[in-house]
Amino acid sequence: MIDADDLISLVRNYNPKTNEALLRGAYAYAQRMHEGQKRHSGEPYFTHPVAVAAILTEQRLDDATIATALLHDTIEDTKGTYTEIAQLFGRDVAELVDGVTKLTNLELSSRESKQAENFRKLLMAMSKDLRVILVKLADRLHNMRTIRHMPPEKQAKKAHETMDIYAPLAGRMGMQWMREELEDLAFRVLNPEARNSIIRRFLTLQKESGDVIPKITDDIEAVLDRAGVKADVFGRAKKPFSIWRKMQEKDLAFSRLSDIYGFRVLTETEDDCYRVLGAIHQRWRAVPGRFKDYISQPKSNGYRSIHTTVSGRDGKRVEVQIRTRQMHDVAESGVAAHWSYRDGVRSENPFAVDPAKWLETLTERFGSAEDNDEFLEHVKLEMYSDQVFCFSPKGDVIQLPKGATPIDFAYSIHTRIGHSCVGAKVDGLRVPLWTRLKNGQSVEIITAEGQTPQATWIDIAVTGRAKTAIRRMLREEDRERFIKLGRELARVAFDSVGKKATDKTLDTAARAIGLKDGAEMLARIGSAELSARSVVARLYPELVATSEEAHVEARRAVIGLPPGAEIRRAQCCQPVPGERIVGITYAGHGPIVHTIDCPALADFDEQPERWIDLHWTDGRHAPVHNVTIDVTISNEKGVLGRICTLIGEQNANISDLHFVDRKPDYFRLLIDVDVRNAEHLHAVMMAVDLDSGVASLQRFRSLDRRP
């Protein structure tokens, strides 16, 4: 652990005018407050806030932020109070510490509505002072670096939370180095086998071809010397998770990946950046579609750089990033560059973005989400998105996430344009609405009166704004139909516990789950956004529990699992009691249960050590085993209602319903049904199949849903 003098020296390296008394006082106060506390590793707890402060000195942050890092756990974990911190260190530091404490108390890894609500709180805390999230990110980074000392279940929870929230947030803020490290540390916990495999293949590659990074670096430097450009060249191998993600996205084996090395060229001026680009493209062949100019079109977080990929030495693809040193400072610090100090004063970097303006671009459209689920989808899309820049016919620049389509473009202009869209032209050529837009393209939206959004647009759209507007319009159009279907689903669910779905009961249930009335709730049930079973459980939890008391306990439904392991059913085959099963083990997690005939098991034929013999517990199981059935029905009045009734009459609950294909004569839909066992499932399918309106019926199995 570094002492107070060493920490102050780190700050003084970039801020000679640092307030030494403030930092020394915060160090001593936090050390006294945390005295006697230990980390999971057995080290004194105070080593953690000191490490967090040291991480933030690498970003050259101001004294208040460094002091906050030292004090960030005092309100949460010690006798320290907001009032005392404000008296000792000032209101600015106290507000920051309080903000970090509130972020720490958010359960960001919890699911659905609560997670969405906490995301709103996170953004509110960020909006007051962005330095709060900088401290929290450094706090998470140090915790991930030392995560091996935590219990396995807590490691998994923290790793998922890091991968889902903190890593993409760091990337969105422009702190790409932190995003990459957070992702890789989480990857080490969540999939150690895959990570070790990537590292082993890297070592094998180096043995076969040698370390190519110094060779390619020398090649680039030689090209720049001949061009008379003064620049520094740095090379590195990409992080294991970055390589793994590319393998998954492109469905490629490691041996087929080419651009696994990245190089960075730092110049003095913007003109030099383009001279470097020209020299590199003259020497090596550029890879089509892999050029991005973020200097002429900067990202909203201030990031500026030229990206290009070329076929370099021995045909290996090499990614090259070209930027000035000032641009590099912002690329390393992102939005944090606003608070960076150099020689005792705020760094006057012309590329540093105003945090308030950046936050406005991040949150400007979040308010359009009507409920928590839509908000959560919207904010996650914004967190993960990279940008493309397209032009309207008038020359206006429209900024969209990577992968956006003409539908997203239309809704970004105006909701009315989106609703009435019937086609699009890209660079003057008519294209399908599912076309993925690229940087620099000109997009013209073709509209027509009377046009309304199609259900398939939800899958085509990428932005949260477009998805929200489409869903809202579809919900209004289909509201009456969804209400009728929802009423039938609710009737069956309430009947299963001996209750009636009266209007008063439905209104009460709606208020209990935060909706304005029963009609709105029925529309959500009918559109499969809400489960009728969950509504019943909210009003009559004791009846739902009583109906399952005599059954085999769900957590003991399978015999043969390791002690403490939870039952995890494979979604590719969805095994149910009565079927022969086997378990496949995963490092850091309990085994996943498959049916013995599941095609996914072929992936593990050469790994017999991962197989576990399992079997279902004898006795009556609760109807909680979800199975998807694939049904094609005629488009006739009453058919869907009859099917729902038939399933309910078999004492099975419909937990979800999704239309996958709509034709004038037929509908194809996937229905998730909760059953007790294989016999119960057979009875449900038999009852449905006998209906005259059912054209085909089968159990839905898909390797796309494998674990």
Tokens linked to 235: 């090379």
Spell out the residues 6+ positions from residue 702 whose beta carbon is closer than 8 angstroms to its own.
572
Buried b (16+ CB within 10 A) or exposed e, 340-370: bbeeeeebebebbbebeebbeebbebbeebe
Model confidence over 392-439: pLDDT tens digits?
888 777 878 778 899 999 998 888 999 999 899 998 888 888 888 887
Write down the pLDDT at residue 690: 79
* Range(s) of the domain holding residue 236: 199-342
What is the DSSP annotation of 650-704? TT-EEEEEEEEEE-SSEEEEEEEEEESSHHHHHHHHHHHHTSTTEEEEEE---GG
- CATH code of residue 468: 3.10.20.30
Distance CA 477, CA 46 (A): 59
Write down the pLDDT at residue 614: 85
Distance CA 681, CA 694 (A): 17
State yes or no: is 370 an active-site residue: no
Verify that 142 and 254 share a domain, yes or no. no
- Determine the angle formed by the axes of helices 518-526 and 479-495, rounding to 10 degrees: 90
**Would you call 207 helix, strand, or coil by DSSP?**
helix
Verify that 411 and 383 share a domain, yes or no. yes
- CATH code of residue 57: 1.10.3210.10
Identify the CA nearest to 48 among candidates 65, 30, 62, 60. Answer: 30
- Cα distances from 137 to residues 146, 168, 293, in angstroms, run 14, 11, 28
> In the predicted model, what is the mean pLDDT of the chain?
82
Model confidence over 445-479: pLDDT tens digits?
999 888 888 877 888 888 878 888 888 887 777 77
Q: Is the pLDDT of residue 59 over 80?
A: yes
- Which of these three, 158, 190, 222, is where a domain ends? 190
- Which of these three, 444, 476, 508, is where a domain ends? 476
Verify that 121 and 78 share a domain, yes or no. yes
Write down the pLDDT at residue 145: 93
- The reply to whether 55 falls in a domain is yes
Write down the pLDDT at residue 143: 92
Q: Report the range of poorest mean pLDDT among 23-32, 277-286, 289-298, 342-351.
A: 342-351
Model confidence over 565-608: pLDDT tens digits?
888 899 899 999 888 899 888 876 778 999 988 888 888 878 87
The residues with which 480 forms a beta bridge, in sequence order, are: none
Higher pLDDT, 373 or 655: 655
Classify strands 261-267 and 317-324 as parallel, antiparallel or unpaired.
parallel
Q: How many CB atoms lie within 10 A of CB 553?
A: 12
- The reply to whether 492 falls in a domain is no
- Cα distances from 572 to residues 600, 628, 637, 656, 702, in angstroms, run 8, 10, 33, 17, 5
- The reply to whether 18 falls in a domain is yes
Helices within 130-269 (DSSP H only): 131-145, 152-161, 167-172, 176-190, 192-209, 212-227, 240-250
- The reply to whether 632 falls in a domain is no
Verify that 268 and 151 share a domain, yes or no. no
Q: Report the range of poorest mean pLDDT among 5-19, 59-73, 373-387.
A: 373-387
Write down the pLDDT at residue 111: 45
Distance CA 553, CA 88 (A): 55
Write down the pLDDT at residue 549: 47
Verify that 366 and 219 share a domain, yes or no. no
Write down the pLDDT at residue 22: 94
CB 32 within 8 A of CB 45: no
State yes or no: is 76 an active-site residue: yes
Residue of 20, 58, 76, 630 marked active site: 76
- CATH code of residue 307: 3.30.460.10
Model confidence over 501-557: pLDDT tens digits?
888 889 888 888 888 888 888 888 876 667 788 888 888 876 765 554 456 777 778
Type of residue found at 222: A
- The reply to whether 382 falls in a domain is yes
Distance CA 613, CA 592 (A): 12
Q: How many CB atoms lie within 10 A of CB 29?
A: 20
- The reply to whether 331 falls in a domain is yes
Verify that 67 and 212 share a domain, yes or no. no
Verify that 383 and 313 share a domain, yes or no. no
**Would you call 321 helix, strand, or coil by DSSP?**
strand
- The reply to whether 572 falls in a domain is no
- Cα distances from 65 to residues 91, 181, 537, 660, in angstroms, run 13, 22, 46, 51
Residue of 58, 77, 92, 184 marked active site: 77
Distance CA 656, CA 672 (A): 5
- The reply to whether 630 falls in a domain is no
- Which of these three, 313, 342, 371, is where a domain ends? 342
Identify the CA nearest to 182 among candidates 159, 199, 198, 153. Answer: 159
Q: Report the range of poorest mean pLDDT among 345-354, 563-572, 682-691.
A: 345-354
Identify the CA nearest to 655 among candidates 684, 682, 632. Answer: 684
Classify strands 292-293 and 285-286 as parallel, antiparallel or unpaired.
unpaired
Instruction: State the burial class of residue 90 (Cβ atoms within 10 Å of its Cβ: 0-12, 13-18, 19+).
Output: middle
**Would you call 311 helix, strand, or coil by DSSP?**
strand
Taken in order 540, 688, 701, 680, the sign of the CA dihedral is positive
Write down the pLDDT at residue 355: 66
Verify that 225 and 283 share a domain, yes or no. yes
Verify that 121 and 229 share a domain, yes or no. no
Q: How confident is the model at residue 253 (pLDDT cuts 50, 70, 90)?
A: low
Write down the pLDDT at residue 343: 58
Q: How confident is the model at residue 144 (pLDDT cuts 50, 70, 90)?
A: very high
Q: Is the pLDDT of residue 265 over 50?
A: yes
Verify that 389 and 451 share a domain, yes or no. yes
Spell out the residues 6+ positions from residue 25 whose beta carbon is closer than 8 angstroms to its own.
88, 89
Q: Where do we find the tokens 């740095």?
A: 234
Q: Where do we find the tokens 């085993």?
A: 625
Cα radius of gyration rounded to whole Å, the chain: 29
Verify that 416 and 285 share a domain, yes or no. no
Verify that 287 and 406 share a domain, yes or no. no
Q: How confident is the model at residue 27 (pLDDT cuts 50, 70, 90)?
A: very high
| Number of compact structural domains in the chain | 3
